Structure 1
């Protein structure tokens, strides 16, 4: 899959009535590419102390997904509602596979009500292991729709190609502008100068600008120096970015090289949604978790 232009299905995990902001983003994305949404609630039986408690939880979940599906349909998007039981992150990934979901959209806090819920939790596990892009929307900092400015961080590596393609495709679908950013961190490598790093960063930005031009999307770029996640967040505020589209692999090529560092920090701290894009689907390399 090359980007949003070939998206047919968006999976929206949710577990509460007030967790609708991710749904709003999913519905808007689905409308733009004539896709459908699948709204999923997973009841974790391992947290239940009785059959009655589990039955009540399943009943509440049915109500949540039914209301969410109706909300999507009212917006003109086809919607399916599902309730599953099991370990939430595993079931989300399994249902994504079963339904051939092209994107997963989810909020980054849940029942525990903590703004750091994404860290070490369901959302983090889904981001780490999903073979398809995951849109995380921090509840309490939902950003705005429709997207008008799409921030695309890049390091110029081949591993980042899918994220760049997705960033441009999101901008094309929303008639938005692309803002490409490459960050030069102070070099810790012997014999490597900051000037070399800047040359590579400028080339990376030019590659994104070229992609945008070929897609007929307006774009601008910048190279900054500093700590990568801080520069991404700062650039997003400076440009009025509505969404960040970034990869989960870095120049090192190590699997999930950025998760636990740059991408995780951006997800935690961003006031706008973050779409994390894996290098490739797990089915193509046999190593998806």
Structure 2
């Protein structure tokens, strides 16, 4: 199969995640990056906003850092000082308020992480910027971060991934992996990593899917947790009136499920996935039902890839990936394309 032969090349182009998983590569990455934030190399960046305690970002960031055996940098972004001074010194009062908000946010994060991951090396930073996503990407580039972790918006549904302005901007522009926590995410437990990894494929690009599977398998093996492969056969609404029969949508869904099972079998035969890897097809009337048809591990992680858009090695979610993210009940790690 042609897509099997290109997996190594595709995986190398996504080496930002893959290289982090090997001890020799970790040492090389630390050497290239140098020392930062109090003498420790920073690899996992978490964006924590004031008043977003239920976003789940701290719980997910500590789990990611624990799983990768890396340090954690927590950053909060506050509004910048006004460009035009105020005669009434309102600008100075605003700057003082913003600084106080940032300091209180970091103190809140520090208190939470002392409970969540007391042994995890954590550093903190406050930065003034008009755009939280731009600030996080700037910090990520400066520190050579391996992944940026964000939470769901505060007004979203508890227990589900809800993209806010910052997370939505990141998943459409970042050149590094982006991890998103469901609102209210409690994590796998203090000092614990993930207990399972699920890799979602959309079947739109066999070569890209094979590369994503290879990385998910490597990560699962590195963490010593089981890997599961999922795809989805979403049943559309019944056409009315129908000239092709009222059961045609069911027939299409059944055909999609059979196609997915055939693809899984081909991947097993080609060695893309091991014989012990569980494969599941989510089937339902709409994406919510299709996602709900699958049993999810609360301490698990969902991995999926993005599609190329503009600059290579950039995260950009296609329509199917976007729906998977928006309906996921567990944290999602989105890998950049290319």
TM-score after normalising by structure 1: 0.74
Distance 2:278 2:195 in 1: 13
> Partners in 2 of 1:60 and 1:162 — Cα distance?
43
Aligned pair in 2 of structure 1 residues 227, 92: CA closer, same or farther (>3 Å)?
farther
Secondary structure at the counterpart of residue 337 of structure 2: coil
- Residues 1:62 and 2:129 aligned together: no
Structure 2 CA distance for partners of 1:172 and 1:46, relative to 1, 3 Å: farther
The residue correspondences of 1:1-289 to structure 2 (distance < 5 A) are: 1=15, 2-3=17-18, 5-6=21-22, 9-16=43-50, 18-19=53-54, 21-45=56-80, 50-69=91-110, 72=113, 75-86=118-129, 87-109=131-153, 113-115=154-156, 118-119=162-163, 121-142=165-186, 144-145=188-189, 146-156=193-203, 157=205, 158-184=207-233, 201-202=260-261, 204-206=263-265, 207=267, 210-211=271-272, 213=274, 218-225=276-283, 229-230=287-288, 233-236=291-294, 238-240=295-297, 242-249=300-307, 258-259=317-318, 261-280=319-338
The CA distance in 2 between the partners of 1:120 and 1:208, in whole Å, is: 38
Pair 1:53–1:76, CA change in 2 (3 A): same
Tell me by how many angstroms 1:204 deviates. Answer: 4.3
Aligned to 2:37: none
Q: Any unmatched runs of 5+ in structure 2?
A: 1-14, 27-41, 84-89, 237-250
Distance between the aligned counterparts of 1:120 and 1:79, measured in 2?
Answer: 25
Question: In the TM superposition, what is the alpha-carbon distance from 1:66 to its structure 2 partner?
Answer: 4.4
CA apart distance, 1:141: 4.5
Question: What displacement does 1:164 show?
Answer: 2.3
Query: Following the alignment from structure 2 to structure 1, what is the Cα–Cα distance between the partners of residues 140 and 290?
Result: 29
Aligned mates of 1:275, 1:50 — CA distance in 2:
39
CA distance in 2, matches of 1:184, 1:269: 15
Give the aligned length: 264
Alpha-carbon distance in 2 for matches of 1:180, 1:275: 14
- 1:203-238 per-position Cα deviation (integer Å, ceiling 9, x unaligned): 543538945539xxx5200235557844662254x2
Query: Quick one: structure 1 residues 240 and 20, their matched pair in 2 at CA, closer, same or farther if it must change by over 3 Å?
Result: closer
Q: How far does the alpha carbon of each residue in 1:230-286 deviate from its partner, in whole angstroms, 9 at most, with x for none? A: 4662254x2536221111229xxx986634x33333333322111111223xxxxxx
Query: 7-16 or 218-227: which moved more?
Result: 218-227
1:22-61: per-residue Cα shift (whole Å, max 9, x none)? Answer: 2222222222322111111011338997331232122221
Instruction: Give the C-alpha shift of residue 148 in structure 1.
Output: 2.4
Q: Following the alignment from structure 1 to structure 2, what is the Cα–Cα distance between the partners of residues 128 and 208?
A: 32
**Residues 91-126 of structure 1, C-alpha deviation per residue, up to 9 Å, x if partnerless?**
1111111111111111111xxx31179546111101
- 1:249/1:279 contact within 8 Å kept: yes
What runs of 5+ residues in structure 1 fail to find an aligned partner? Answer: 188-192, 281-289
- Checking the alignment, whether the CA contact within 8 Å between 2:303 and 2:334 is kept in structure 1 is yes
Alignment TM-score, normalising by the size of structure 2: 0.64
Compared with structure 1, are the counterparts of its residues 227 and 97 closer, same or farther at alpha carbon in structure 2 (3 Å cutoff)? farther
Tell me the SS of whatever aligns to 1:32. Answer: helix
